[in-house]
Amino acid sequence: MKGKYIKGRSITYDGSQLHSLYAFTEHDVQGDSVVAFRGPCRVQAEGLVDMEDRKKGAEIYSEDMVHFIVELFDSDLPRTLALQRLFLCVVKDVIEELKPELFISRRGDDLYIEVEVDEGQEESRKLTVSVATASPVSNLIHIGINVSSRNTPVPTLGLDDLEIPVDDFILKVMQGFINEMKGMESARCKVRGVG
C-alpha cells in the first residue's frame, strides 16, 4: 500500500473525490493507496453516498478538515467496512498517543469525545465523518477529521481545539494504517494450514 500527503494545498472535499482511480488520476499514486489532504468539507445531500443520510437531507460541512481517501483493489465491501473501522482505530490511537488525557469513543464508523459543557454535564462532540463504498473496479473509504469545529451542523471538536499539530497527525495516521495493512499481509503469509 502506498501513501501520499498532498501538503500545502487546500482541496475542498465535496464527495466527487470518492471515485475509482482518484489517487492515480489526480495524484499519480497507482494501486492500493491512502491519499491525505487538508481543506474544507462541503457535501450537499445529493452528493452523499450514505443513503440514510441522503434521505434525511443531511449535509456535511466543515471549514477545515483532514481528509483521507483509501482505495483498495483486492477487497470486497464487507472487508472494506472492517478496514474503515480499523482506520478509525488508528486515528483514535494516534490522538490518544498525542493527548493521553482524552477519552475518545468509537461508535460504529465515527469517533466522539466527551466534553464537560456545564458542571456535571457532558456533551458528546463528533470528531470524524466517514463512509465506505464500492466502485466498478475498487472499494473506497473517506475519513474526514475536523481541524476546525466552527460553524459545523452538529456539535464537534477539531484538532485545533485539541491542540494537535495537523501535519504530524496526518503522517502518523497514514503510516499507522499502512503498517496495519502490511502487518496483516505478513500475518496472512506466515501461518500454515490446519486440518
- What's the gap between Cα 167 and its chain centre? 15
DSSP assignment of 59-95 = -EEEEEEEEEEEEESS--HHHHHHHHHHHHHHHHHHH
pLDDT (average), residues 77-105: 95
pLDDT of residue 123: 86
Q: Is the dihedral of CA 136, 110, 151, 100 positive or negative?
A: negative
When mean pLDDT is compared across 51-60, 112-121, 174-183, the lowest value belongs to 51-60
Q: 101-119: per-residue pLDDT in tens? A: 988 999 999 999 988 778 8
pTM for this model (two decimals): 0.91
Q: 153-171: per-residue pLDDT in tens? A: 888 999 999 999 999 999 9
CB count in 10 Å sphere of residue 97: 10
**C-alpha cell belonging to residue 124:** 458528546
pLDDT of residue 2: 96
**C-alpha cell belonging to residue 183:** 502487518
Q: Is the pLDDT of residue 51 over 60?
A: no
> Could you tell me what percent of the chain has a pLDDT over 90?
75
Question: Is 174 within 8 Å of 182 (Cβ atoms)?
Answer: no
pLDDT (average), residues 73-78: 94
pLDDT of residue 87: 98
pLDDT of residue 27: 97
Distance CA 139, CA 11 (A): 22
Domains of the chain: 2-179 (3.30.930.10)
Strands laid side by side in the 104-107 sheet: 104-107, 110-118, 121-126
CA angle 131, 25, 47 (to 5 degrees): 35
Question: Is 99 within 8 Å of 159 (Cβ atoms)?
Answer: no
**SS3 of 127-194:** CEEEEEEECCCCEEEEEEEECCCCCCCCCECCCCCCCCCHHHHHHHHHHHHHHHHHHHHHHHCCCCCC
Q: List Cβ neighbours of 170 (8 Å cut-off, separation of 6 or more).
A: 5, 36, 38, 66
Distance CA 76, CA 39 (A): 29
pLDDT of residue 28: 97
